[in-house]
Structure 1
Amino acid sequence: MNRPFITLFALLAALSAQAAEPWSVERCMEYAAEHSHAVRLQQYDLDASRTERTRAIGAFLPEVYGSVGAQMNFGRAIDPETNTYTDVNTFYNGYGLQASLVVFDGLQRYNELRMARANVAMGRSALQAEKDAVRLRVYKACMDLLYCEGAVEHTQRKRDESRELLHQVEVMAEVGQKSEADVAQMRATLAADDYELTHMQSQTTKALLALKQQMNFPIADTLIVEKPAIDASLLPTDNAYNIYNVALTTNPRIAQAAGNVAAARYALRAARGAFLPKLSLSGGVSTSFYRNMDVGGHAPFGQQFKNNAGEYVTLSLSIPIFNRLGSVSSVRSRRIALDRARESLNYERSELQRIIAEAVADVENSAKEVQKMQDQVEADSLAAYLTTRKFEEGMASSIDVRTAAVTLLQSRVRLLQSQLTMMYNRQVLAYYEK
């Protein structure tokens, strides 16, 4: 085997090992925050807001445009040189360059610029809020996947124990210590365990696909999520009221709602500016070329271009009187939008307070549930062990063994579920505590 082939093989092996490397839950969350479709769509909205801000800045600059025109007259027309009527065919060519600037427009452009800036700030908050929401959804999807994987592990463990017990019962039946009914019951228990294991493996596959979809992770690539450490001793470091006061100034959804109020306020002010007079300043230069198509002897183009040149300056004042209630309707609609934005802000604040109070209670209750389930698992483990020993001694039936084993499996799965639920509740609370 030559050296280049060995190098290529080593590189492919390294890439394969890297792809199969377990991902922490935090790494999954950050990957989703950068690659999620929802985050990318929100980024496009932010880019659109920035474009509108650029347009609002450009409204303060003068507007400059040039014009070129050509005209051929046949029959009766006005001679540009003598300003009298003539019946000959003439050609006229005009050039112009004009600039105009709005001096005052009732502060409409100023308020539209402030509204555009508020929309950009609101877009940033919306982008951050979407990233945080994606992180929480991915965290929840990771917990669902870890639950399914843990359930598969516990079910497989019970299936192995049932297989060993079946073998033991078959041996005891050969020597007459157990009946064929006990053997049949153990085989039924093993079959039920095989079915439950297959079902949980299917649920694990669905949970993995759901996680990849939330992360926008390639479906065909391998993704292994590393189970985080579980610590049941951690409780909220502060009460709900203090956490709420901190979240009011840091939560992006509150900032987004507040930005919406600011943008609506500036939009209303811009609409009111339409009732004020508008002052505009404009100026330009123009020149022309004229030629009699029937009679020669016209001045050269360069001479006419220079001699016919002229400049002008215009200052105009426009006073709005009646525009079919357009300005009145605009003010009313934007006042309604402002009231709606304020109500949305109040709702977000109230919802934030409720969510934080619920998160604090969930963390405290889930920690208690984990402790209770640990005690139940210990008790069910002892009960299952004693029932199995009684069955071996002929003091318990196979149905008792199956019931005790199923109860233990359910307790273990519920303990795993309560542990993962506690971790998710802590993650939610930590998001509002930051």
Structure 2
Amino acid sequence: MNLKLIVLVFFIAIGSSTAQSKKWTLEECVAYAVEHNLSIEQFELDLENAKIDRSDALGALMPNVNSSISTSGNTGLSFDPTTNQPVTTTILTANGGVTSSLTLFDGLRNFNRLNRAKMNAIANQYRLDDLKDDIRLNVANAYLQILSNKETLKVLRAQYAVTEQDLKRTKELIQAGALPEGDLLEIEATAAGLEQQIVNTENLVLISRINLAQLLQITDYENFDVVDVDYEVPPSDILNKNPKEIFAESLTFRNDIKFSESNIDLAKEDLKITKGALYPTLSAFFNYNTRYSDQGGFDSSTGTFVPAESFGNQLWINDGISYGAQLNIPVFNGFSTRNNIKRAEITVKKAELQLEQDKLDLETNINQAYVDVTSFAKAYEAAQKTLEARQLAYNYSKERYDVGLMNAFDFSQAQSRVDNAAAEVVRTKYDYIFRIKVLEFYFGLPIDLE
């Protein structure tokens, strides 16, 4: 193998190792999810469509201009377009023109369509931002779930290490005759149970990593991982606010509420457009045309044949202009316009009701989040006290077990209670952290674990 190939393989290996050792922070996960989520990309395309609709509405306010040109040849009896006289020979003719029309008044429908297109672009932006908010929250939840499972795994492995020491100590006591050999089976059963919990928790870590990777649209599940950080419960002043204060603040910035409000504006604008059909429509038009023929004619004053004028001269000689205005007055159209207005009015009312429903849902979610924070705070505090008590009980049991005053079954039960209490502390801690972040999120604070 030559030197260049060795160097290339070396750098590829370094790059592969670096890629595999990459561990993601919460901020990186959130930013990546917002950038690569397929639903966000679809909503961004909807936003682009809304901007195109605005361009369409603006173009409807401008005059349209169209041009045309045609040429033809005829043999036999035909009419010369320049003289309107019949001819019985081969004739080559050409026609061209430019036509323009402009809507002067249509019940302000075109202006209202332009306003609606602007509002629709804003509404789509609110919808896109609301989706990004939901994704940020989902990513934070999935991220914290990984950390919770990892920390539980650390606790179980630490407990397993302690159990191994107990197992070693039990063998020594049995050899010394201080304990019966049956006690060894209880400790071994406890160790086997911990091994099973460790395997199950390792699977939970893998599943939670896959769940987060799917949110980020990452398919390399095996190499995807997050930074190993043991987060403590962050200080927060959010509980100094009552639910009504949080709700009042959320109404000022929540994108789902702004989206609902913009839907009301859109429905009202649609109502204006529909009512515009009750008014007359006034439009103006302008047309310029010219023609050419290769046929000459007789001059009646001299009685001689006059050849056809040149192509350029005929364009000026045979041109013409027409212009005018047209007024259309709606009289009766089978109640369709009136019924469309009624439908538009119903749509406005439905949008207003939807806004009220969204506000109620938001207030309910905030109240639930507030209750969750307080309840999980108490659960976390209770879990800590339980672990402390279980640990003291375990230490006391270990002292009795070491001197032969407790059998292996009771000792393994004491250790199992410590294991369960430690796992419960981890679970309630991360549940509490997430609920704090949810409540802060409703108050407008960014999702940040630092």
- TM score, norm. by length of structure 1: 0.91
d(CA) in 2 for partners of 1:101 and 1:205?
65
Provide the residue aligned with 1:214 in structure 2.
Answer: 215
Coordinate RMSD, CA, aligned: 2.9
**Amino acid in the other structure paired with 1:123:** N
Q: Secondary structure at the match of 2:190?
A: helix
Give the length in aligned residue pairs: 434
Counterpart for residue 102 of structure 1: 103
Task: Give matches, 1:298-313, under 5 Å.
Answer: 298-313=308-323
Quote the Cα distance in structure 2 between the aligned partners of 1:182 and 1:230: 39
User: In the aligned structure 1, how far is the partner of 2:421 from the partner of 2:27?
Assistant: 28
CA distance in 2, matches of 1:82, 1:27: 79
* Corresponding residue to 1:237 among 237, 240, 264: 240
Asked if 1:186 is matched to 2:187, the reply is: yes
Is the aligned partner of 1:399 residue 2:409? Answer: yes
Residue from 418, 422, 425 that aligns with 2:435: 425
* Alignment deviations for residues 299-349 of structure 1 (CA, whole Å, 9 cap, x no partner): 332222221111222211111234454434433333332222111111111
User: Alpha-carbon deviation of 1:11?
Assistant: 10
Offset of residue 10 of structure 1: 8.1
Summarize the alignment of residues 310-389 of structure 1 with structure 2, pairs less than 5 Å apart: 310-389=320-399
Residues 159 and 194, structure 1, Cα contact 8 Å, conserved in 2: yes
Query: 1:421 deviation in Å?
Result: 1.1
Q: Which residue of 1 aligns with 2:266?
A: 263
| Matched letter for residue 192 of structure 2 | A
Q: CA deviation at 1:6?
A: 8.1
229-238 or 312-321, larger mean C-alpha shift: 229-238
Q: Secondary structure at the match of 1:97?
A: strand
Query: What SS does structure 2 have at the residue aligned with 1:80?
Result: coil
Q: Measure the CA separation in 2 of the matches of 1:314 and 1:350.
A: 57
* Matched letter for residue 223 of structure 1: D
What's the CA shift string for 1:210-267, capped at 9, x where partnerless?
Answer: 1111122452544323436323663523111122111111111100100111011101
Question: Deviation of residue 58 (structure 1)?
Answer: 1.4
Higher deviation after alignment, 197-206 or 284-293: 284-293
Cα pair distance change 1:414/1:286, threshold 3 Å: same
Give the conservation status (yes or no) of the 8 Å contact 2:146–2:208: yes
Deviation at 1:41, TM superposition (A): 1.9
More displaced stretch, 334-343 vs 9-18? 9-18
Counterpart of 1:278 (choices 256, 271, 281) is 281
Question: Structure 2 vs 1, CA of residues 405 and 268 (structure 1 numbering), >3 Å: closer, same or farther?
Answer: same
Higher mean Cα deviation, 354-363 or 133-142?
Answer: 354-363
Does the aligned pair in 1 maintain the 2:24–2:226 contact within 8 Å?
yes
Separation (CA, whole Å) in 2 of partners of 1:14 and 1:364: 47
In 2: Cα distance, 1:229 partner to 1:158 partner? 20
> Which residue does 2:300 correspond to in 1?
none
Gap runs ≥5 in structure 1: none
For residues 180-212 of structure 1, what are the alpha-carbon distances to aligned partners after superposition, in whole Å with 9 as ceiling and x for unaligned? 321222222211211111111011001001111
TM-score (structure 2 length as normaliser): 0.88
> What is the deviation of 1:398?
1.7
Does structure 1 conserve the Cα–Cα contact (< 8 Å) formed by 2:100 and 2:286? Answer: yes
- The residue matched to 1:270 in structure 2 has which SS? helix
User: Any idea what SS the aligned residue of 1:249 has?
Assistant: coil
| Aligned equivalents of 2:19, 2:74: Cα separation in 1 | 80
Q: For 1:23 and 1:161, locate their aligned partners in 2 and report how far apart those are by CA, in whole Å.
A: 32
**Where in structure 2 are there 5+ consecutive unaligned residues?**
297-304, 445-450
AA of the residue aligned to 2:406: A
Measured in 1, the distance between the counterparts of 2:390 and 2:274 equals 71
Q: Identity of aligned pairs, percent?
A: 23
What amino acid is aligned across from residue 349 of structure 2 in structure 1?
A: D
The answer as to whether partners of 1:268 and 1:335 remain within 8 angstroms in 2 is yes
Q: Displacement of 1:170 after TM fit?
A: 2.1
Q: How far 1:163 moved relative to its partner?
A: 1.9
Measure the CA separation in 1 of the matches of 2:251 and 2:188. 60
State the partner residue of 1:252. 255
CA contact (8 A) 1:119 1:263 kept: yes
- Counterpart residue identity of residue 311, structure 2: F
Contact 2:112–2:269 (CA under 8 A) maintained in structure 1: yes
